[in-house]
Amino acid sequence: MVKILEISDLVFMEKIHYPNISIEQGSIVFIQGPSGSGKSTLIRLINNTISPSSGRILFNGVNIEDINSIDLRRKIILVGQSPYLFNTNIKENFILFHKFRETPFPEDKKLMDYLRICCANGPLDTQCINLSGGEKQRIFLAIALSFNPQILLLDEPTSALDSSTADCVMVNITQYCKENHITLLIVSHDTFLCKQYAEHIIRCAGMNY
């Protein structure tokens, strides 16, 4: 299998030390650890939103510090716990995000497919300002999928969802990513989800003084 990510001697703020990590393309990886152990920080390091104190992260064999940050984030997409949506309807959010990225805009049927995968089945003219936090997160996740990333980073994707919706999202997302060879990294405190869906687990130990 092809190694899509390789992390070695990674340290953040001279305090948080990470284990050496090697991740194969298309795998489903959960990131777990106690509060404050640097789980969310790790995925922000991976898409170069923040920079480490030392160590390196290789993406397809290239140090991410040597990759244009915009190009990197076209291929490694981070979906946080409070993603930003424009105060317009769902379809116009898709249009605006694709316009900013200068990528082809999918047809309506494809948009509905992405929304279905994310268990967000409302009509495209639904106004996003009226949606709950969990609904907005699922809409943004659908937009992220429409960009066809190589790596998808999810930060607590089910924290705002009831158990039934959480299971729907996880089943669909993991299946879609496996079918499309998308590497999936998920920060989650939910041990049940981890046991159910993880192929590999990264355990963050926290600060090391």
What are the tens digits of pLDDT across the range 27-83? 999 999 998 899 999 999 999 999 999 999 999 999 999 999 999 999 999 998 888
Whether 133 has a pLDDT exceeding 50, the answer reads: yes
Alpha-carbon distances of 34 from 86, 130, 186, 187, 207, rounded to whole Å: 33, 34, 15, 11, 11
Whether 144 has a pLDDT exceeding 60, the answer reads: yes
Cβ–Cβ < 8 Å for 51, 44: no
Count Cα atoms within 13 angstroms, Cβ side, for 94. Answer: 26
- Sequence letter at residue 169: V
pLDDT for the residue numbered 81: 85
Reported confidence tier of residue 206, pLDDT bands at 50, 70, 90: low
What is d(CA 180, CA 144) in angstroms, rounded to the nearest whole number? Answer: 14
Strand-pairing partners, residue 59, are 5, 62
Cβ–Cβ < 8 Å for 204, 35: no
pLDDT for the residue numbered 171: 96
What is d(CA 146, CA 24) in angstroms, rounded to the nearest whole number? Answer: 22
What is d(CA 67, CA 50) in angstroms, rounded to the nearest whole number? Answer: 14
Which residues lie below 8 Å from residue 110, measured CB to CB, with a gap of 6+?
146
DSSP code of 104? P
Strand 54-59 with 62-63, pairing: antiparallel
pLDDT for the residue numbered 209: 40
Token couple for 173: 């997302």
Whether 2 has a pLDDT exceeding 80, the answer reads: yes
Token couple for 44: 């922000």
Strand 3-12 with 54-59, pairing: antiparallel
Predicted model pTM? 0.94
What is d(CA 40, CA 35) in angstroms, rounded to the nearest whole number? Answer: 10
Sheet holding 151-155, edge to edge: 76-79, 151-155, 183-187, 28-32, 200-203
